[in-house]
């Protein structure tokens, strides 16, 4: 358990470091001076200067950073030809996009590797032919449902269901649905596989579940492992990256529509912060390496989409200021941009603190 938490923590930190490395590489490519590329946040533990750039390892392991000097902030030691602000708008835009693209690139590489190893693929109950380890997996668990109260989690596999002397070895979603419908309102037993661990749980399927939820309060999928040749894996990885990105964008668009129309958060949807993400990554690692890599890829895609939103303090917000500069023919006033960015940053910090406390309360 401790090992999985450590791996989860450093995996997320690694994603953030690669994001900053994307900014760094593009800045270097366009001849922009970079004073420091740091892993973690100060105070500094170790640093080595190569050329104009200091490469540092810092004490607080909460991400990474790239320090690019600014003429607008009074930096006098930098030549104008090396300054970020003096570069063409399209080059500055690519520096900002470098971090976002790095998230998508990481997702593509991870998913390509997963398809090479053998990725779980959703299949229908009536699919025939040679299937490699067909099983029924829990996709999500509704809040306050019998499944949640029984301790069932996303990624669990339902292996067997029983009531009294009757038992069913589960290989299809329809078997679960038929069995729970048959014994609604009565205590049934389930054998659950979570990673290498086998768990026995009991629950009572609801007679009248809320709209949009099943009697147990879970969404299920039948999966089977499928692997691809080395030359097919990148194609599948690219397809999966595109499809995941589309689903994330569509999901956020639906969420925004709900909030604007006053419907609130959709059923079963809730915000999670760093603690909640870490807990989910740790859980994915316990389920298996392919699930872990897929989950890291999904986080990378979420971060890519989030970072490109036109919100000041994010890369997308900085791109918005560049667009305004392009339209006006002159940059936005530096102090005005800094004030707007700082205000949005403060709101995001407060939101992060609130979500973190919420995540911690769930753990206990």
Domains of the chain and any CATH numbers: 122-226 (2.30.42.10)
Element (H, E) at 157: strand 157-163
* Structure-token pair, residue 57: 């390892």
Half-sphere exposure at residue 118, Cβ-oriented, CA atoms within 13 angstroms: 10
Query: 203 forms bridges with which residues in the sheet?
Result: 188
Of 101-115, 120-134, 241-255, 331-345, the range with the lowest mean pLDDT is 120-134
Winning range, highest mean pLDDT, from 20-24, 76-80, 280-284: 20-24
Distance CA 221, CA 140 (A): 10
Highest mean pLDDT out of 9-18, 239-248, 344-353: 239-248
Give the residues across from 130 on adjacent strands. none
CB of 74 within 8 A of CB of 11? no
Q: What is the DSSP letter of 80?
A: G
Residue 324 has pLDDT above 90, yes or no: yes
Average pLDDT over residues 178-199: 92
Whole-number Å distance between alpha carbons of 296 and 256? 24
Q: What residues pair up with 134 in beta bridges, in sequence order?
A: none
| pLDDT at 93 exceeding the cut of 80 | yes
How much is the pLDDT for 215? Answer: 94
Categorize the per-residue pLDDT at 28 as very low, low, confident or very high, splitting at 50, 70 and 90.
very high
Question: What is the tens place of the pLDDT at every residue in 191-230?
Answer: 999 877 899 999 999 998 888 788 999 999 999 888 888 8
Rounded to whole angstroms, how far apart are CA atoms 180 and 161?
A: 9
Q: What number of other Cβ atoms are within 10 A of residue 253's Cβ?
A: 10
Asked if 222 and 135 touch (Cβ cutoff 8 Å), the reply is yes
Sign for the CA dihedral angle at 288, 292, 293, 295 comes to positive
Which range, 168-177, 243-252, 263-272, is most confident? 168-177
Q: How crowded is residue 178: how many other Cβ atoms within 10 Å of its Cβ? A: 13
Structure confidence at residue 204 (pLDDT): 96
Phi first, then psi: what are they for 353, rounded to 5°? Answer: -65, -45
C-alpha 181/C-alpha 264 separation (Å) is 31
9-23, 37-51, 119-133: range with lowest mean pLDDT: 119-133
Phi and psi, residue 220, nearest 5°: -125, 155
**Res 238 pLDDT > 60:** yes
3-state secondary structure of 95: helix
**Cα angle: 106, vertex 109, 110; to 5 degrees:** 85
Q: Is 86 helix (H, G, I), strand (E, B) or coil?
A: helix
Q: Using CA of residue 296, residue 297, residue 302, residue 305, what is the dihedral sign? A: positive
The pTM (predicted TM-score) of the whole model is 0.79
Q: Give the pLDDT of residue 155.
A: 84
Per DSSP, helices labelled H in 261-288 are 274-287
Which pLDDT band holds residue 75 (cuts at 50, 70, 90)? Answer: low
Per-residue pLDDT reduced to its tens digit, 289-321: 888 899 899 999 999 999 999 998 899 999 999
**CA dihedral (259, 263, 266, 268) positive or negative:** positive
């Amino acid at each position: 358990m401790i090992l999985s938490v450590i791996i989860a923590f450093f995996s997320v930190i690694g994603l953030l470091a690669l994001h900053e490395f994307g900014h760094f590489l593009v800045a270097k490519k366009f001849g922009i001076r970079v004073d420091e590329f740091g892993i973690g946040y100060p105070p500094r533990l170790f640093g080595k200067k190569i050329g104009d750039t200091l490469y540092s390892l810092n004490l607080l392991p909460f991400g990474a950073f790239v320090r690019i000097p600014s003429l607008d902030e009074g930096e006098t030691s930098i030549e104008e030809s090396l300054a970020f602000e003096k570069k063409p708008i399209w080059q500055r835009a690519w520096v900002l996009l470098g971090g976002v693209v790095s998230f998508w690139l990481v997702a593509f590489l991870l998913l390509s590797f997963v398809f090479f190893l053998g990725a779980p693929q959703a299949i229908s109950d009536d699919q025939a032919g040679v299937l490699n380890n067909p099983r029924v997996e829990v996709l999500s668990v509704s809040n306050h449902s019998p499944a949640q109260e029984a301790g069932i989690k996303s990624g669990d596999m339902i292996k067997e269901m029983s009531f009294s002397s009757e038992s069913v070895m589960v290989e299809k979603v329809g078997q679960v649905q038929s069995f729970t419908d048959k014994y609604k309102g009565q205590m049934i037993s389930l054998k659950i596989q979570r990673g290498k661990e086998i768990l026995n749980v009991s629950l009572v399927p609801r007679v009248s579940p809320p709209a949009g939820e099943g009697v147990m309060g879970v969404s299920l999928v039948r999966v089977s492992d499928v692997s691809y040749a080395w030359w097919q894996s990148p194609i599948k990885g690219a397809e999966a990256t595109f499809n995941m990105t589309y689903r994330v964008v569509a999901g956020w668009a639906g969420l925004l529509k709900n909030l604007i129309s006053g419907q609130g958060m959709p059923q079963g949807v809730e915000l999670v912060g760093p603690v909640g993400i870490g807990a989910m990554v740790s859980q994915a690692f316990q389920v298996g390496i392919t699930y872990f890599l897929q989950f890291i890829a999904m986080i990378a895609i979420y971060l890519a989409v989030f970072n490109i939103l036109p919100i000041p303090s994010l890369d997308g917000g900085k791109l918005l200021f560049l667009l305004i500069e392009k339209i006006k023919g002159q940059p936005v006033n530096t102090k005005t941009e800094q004030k707007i960015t700082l205000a949005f940053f403060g709101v995001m910090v407060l939101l992060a603190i609130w979500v973190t406390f919420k995540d911690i309360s769930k753990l206990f």
